């Protein structure tokens, strides 16, 4: 696969990683790299990136709607109340990734998210604090230049783990930062690079 931006049939250059898969291309064009400031949406993305560990993102993307149905639209208040019986039900759901540790970790992370909100802390403000509240513009010319983690992702991982969140190692948190626009890792030749840069608050 090419490491540089790829020209598509619509005349646009895109990052090479979505290939030609319509679902993946749509995700690349509309979501990946868009600055996300909503605490619940950030929670959902972090959990899904945790489920992705060891798998490809397209696998998660194809199951995302099933995940949303199974996990109450990723409402932390609902997930925080899941008991052992609910975990067993989820383990029988073929529409999601049936990993007991990740399911239990999702419940734990929801409880930690809720604890923060109840103390008057904003999950979104915590997440964005690792980049000073502004998206980092990477200006990458090739995917070969894209890191798999950064000082910010390592700091985020350490703080989230300290607070009791699970499945948030520095590689997972970096992928999360890319997906939620904390870092703009669209290649500079990709048409979305400038569009996402313009969305920064």
Query: CB neighbours of 135 closer than 8 A, spacing ≥ 6?
Result: 35, 181, 182, 183, 184, 196, 197, 200
Residue with tokens 């048409």: 191
Is residue 19 in some structural domain? yes
User: What does each of the 201 residues of the chain score in pLDDT, given as a tens digit?
Assistant: 689 999 999 999 999 999 999 999 999 999 999 999 999 999 999 999 999 988 999 999 999 999 999 999 999 999 999 999 999 999 999 999 999 999 999 999 999 999 999 999 999 999 999 999 999 999 999 999 999 999 999 999 999 999 999 999 999 999 999 999 999 999 999 999 999 999 986
DSSP letter, residue 16: S
Is residue 186 in some structural domain? yes
User: Does 186 belong to an annotated binding site?
Assistant: yes
Q: Which domain holds residue 57?
A: 6-198
User: What does the pLDDT read at residue 157?
Assistant: 98
User: What does the pLDDT read at residue 2?
Assistant: 80
Is residue 166 in some structural domain? yes
Nearest of 172, 176, 170, 175 to residue 157 by alpha carbon? 170
User: What does the pLDDT read at residue 1?
Assistant: 65
Q: For the chain, count helices (H), then strands (E).
A: 10, 4
- Please state, in angstroms and rounded to a whole number, the distance separating the CA atoms of residues 18 and 32: 11
* CATH for 184: 1.10.340.30
Is residue 157 in some structural domain? yes
Read off the pTM. 0.95
Is residue 25 in some structural domain? yes
Query: How many structural domains are present in the chain?
Result: 1
DSSP E strand stretches across the chain = 6-7, 13-14, 136-137, 183-184
Is residue 117 in some structural domain? yes
DSSP secondary structure letters along 155-171 = HHHHHHHHTT--S--HH
Are 26 and 189 in contact, with CB atoms under 8 Å apart?
no
Instruction: Return the ∠ at Cα 156 (arms to 68 and 33), rounded to 5°.
Output: 55
Are 170 and 125 in contact, with CB atoms under 8 Å apart?
no
Query: CB neighbours of 118 closer than 8 A, spacing ≥ 6?
Result: none
Is residue 193 in some structural domain? yes
User: Does 168 belong to an annotated binding site?
Assistant: no
User: Does 15 belong to an annotated binding site?
Assistant: yes
- Please state, in angstroms and rounded to a whole number, the distance separating the CA atoms of residues 180 and 57: 14
Is residue 1 in some structural domain? no
Residue with tokens 């067993």: 88
Query: CB neighbours of 84 closer than 8 A, spacing ≥ 6?
Result: none
């Amino acid at each position: 696969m090419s490491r540089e931006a790829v020209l598509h049939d619509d005349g646009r250059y895109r990052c090479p990683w979505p290939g030609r898969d319509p679902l993946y291309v749509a995700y690349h064009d509309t979501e990946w790299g868009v600055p996300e400031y909503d605490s619940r949406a950030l929670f959902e993305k972090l959990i899904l990136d945790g489920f992705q560990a060891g798998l490809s993102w397209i696998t998660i993307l194809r199951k995302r709607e099933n995940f949303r149905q199974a996990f109450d639209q990723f409402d932390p208040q609902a997930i925080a109340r899941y008991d052992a019986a609910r975990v067993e039900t989820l383990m029988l759901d073929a529409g999601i990734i049936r990993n007991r540790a990740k399911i239990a970790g999702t419940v734990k992370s929801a409880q930690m998210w809720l604890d923060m909100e109840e103390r008057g802390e904003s999950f979104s403000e915590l997440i964005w604090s690792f980049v000073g509240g502004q998206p980092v513009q990477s200006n990458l010319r090739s995917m070969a230049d894209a890191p798999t983690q950064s000082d910010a992702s390592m700091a985020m991982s350490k703080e989230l783990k300290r607070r009791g969140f699970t499945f948030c190692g520095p590689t997972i948190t970096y992928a999360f930062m890319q997906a939620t626009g904390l870092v703009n890792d669209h290649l500079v030749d990709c048409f979305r690079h400038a569009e996402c840069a313009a969305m920064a608050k």
